[in-house]
Every structure is written in structure tokens, then in C-alpha cells.
Amino acid sequence: MSLVTQLMDALQIMPGVGPKSAQRLTFFLLQKDKDGARALAKVLGLALDQVKECDLCRTLTENDICNICSNDQRHWQQLCVVESPADIIQIEQATDFKGRYFVLHGKLSPLDGLGPSELKLNKLIDIMARPECQELIVATGSTVEGETTAQYLANLAEKGGIKASRLAHGVPLGGDLEYIDNNTLAHAFAGRTFL
């Protein structure tokens, strides 16, 4: 198999990149922007070698503790649980939230082999045990799995004596946070309801 074909196949691992898009990207990188392609390859290699999960919130970072968790201006009273690091970026861009985060890296889905241990919910329980933690904001998508996860997290919060709230208004049923515009997300975040 030629290197051109291998590159086209490799590019198709990205979401939304099918055979035609992979072909366009391949020819662009090889014909129009070789310097950009080299820079992309270098940064991708560095990211693969150095990026890991934050020891506290599990977002992606090259440090042991991410910038949000190491920011002493952030408080522990509100803990926002999201499905992916992309959700943190959306919330940070759309709101003035100054609490902390916890990234699940998925949602409860027994069919996919994702249970409480795979989502590291014991680590979340330890964080919720902090005396300053007062509210768990559940910011999972409104898919069936997202709703199941939200209810499970609300039950955990209740057992820990913490209020649980859920994003509301504007998050479409079956939608994921990373695809929602900032105004809709800001409205949903401000109008969250307690579970």
C-alpha cells in the first residue's frame, strides 16, 4: 500500500472525515502546505507523548494538574461533571463558571462496557467528600445514556449530602454539549435545575 493511501486511511480515524475528505486533506498537506504538515506531525507527536489526564479533574493536560485546577481563583463549592474535555472548553467560553470540573470520559453505557469503575466515579466520590463541595452540576448530554448517568450522579450526590443540579433549557434532546452554540449553552447553564 502506498504512503499516500496509508495517509488517506490514517486521516479517516478522525470524526467526520470520510474517504473524500481524507483524500482532499492528503493532497492539500502533500502538495500545498508541506511545512504545515510537518508542524502538524511534530505537534501531534509531542501531544501523543506528553498529554495525559489531570490528576484532579481528568481533563487533558501536559502537566500533572491542569490550568483550571491549579488556578486559586477557582472554588470547590460547585463541581461540574462533564462527559469530555471538549465540554469544559464549551462551558468556559459560554459562561462565567468559577467552580471546578470532573471529566467522565464517557457516560454510563453497559452495552459499551462503561460502568462506574471505567468512569472513575470513586475518584469523583472522593472529590465530593471535600467539606467545601456543596453542589454537583451534572452537565452530561441529553441522550439516554447521558440521562442515566445524570440520575446515577444525582443519587451519588444525595448520598454524600450534596445538592445535584442539571443543565436545562436549550440543550436539545439527544444533543452533545460540544455541538451546542455558546448562547444556548450559557442559557442552559444559567437555568439548570436541581435533581
Instruction: Answer whether 179's CB lies under 8 Å from 188's CB.
Output: no
Q: Is the pLDDT higher at 4 or at 144?
A: 4
172 — pLDDT class (breaks 50, 70, 90): low
**pLDDT tens digit sequence for 12-51:** 999 999 999 999 999 999 999 899 999 999 999 999 999 9
171 — pLDDT class (breaks 50, 70, 90): low
Phi, psi of 100 (to 5 degrees): -115, 170
Secondary structure element (H or E) that encloses residue 101, with its range: strand 100-103
**Which ranges of 78-131 does DSSP label H, i.e. alpha helix?**
85-94, 121-128
All domains of the chain in start order, with CATH:
3-50 (1.10.8.420), 65-194 (3.40.1360.10)
Average pLDDT, the chain: 91
Describe the strand order of the beta sheet including 135-139 as a list of residue ranges.
100-103, 78-82, 135-139, 163-166, 193-194
158 — pLDDT class (breaks 50, 70, 90): very high
What is d(CA 17, CA 129) in angstroms, rounded to the nearest whole number?
A: 42
Secondary structure element (H or E) that encloses residue 194, with its range: strand 193-194
Three-state secondary-structure class, residue 95? coil
Which residues touch 22 (CB under 8 Å, ≥6 apart)? 7, 8, 9, 11, 12
> Quick count: other Cβ atoms within 10 Å of Cβ 189?
24
| pLDDT for res 168 | 67
| pLDDT for res 90 | 94
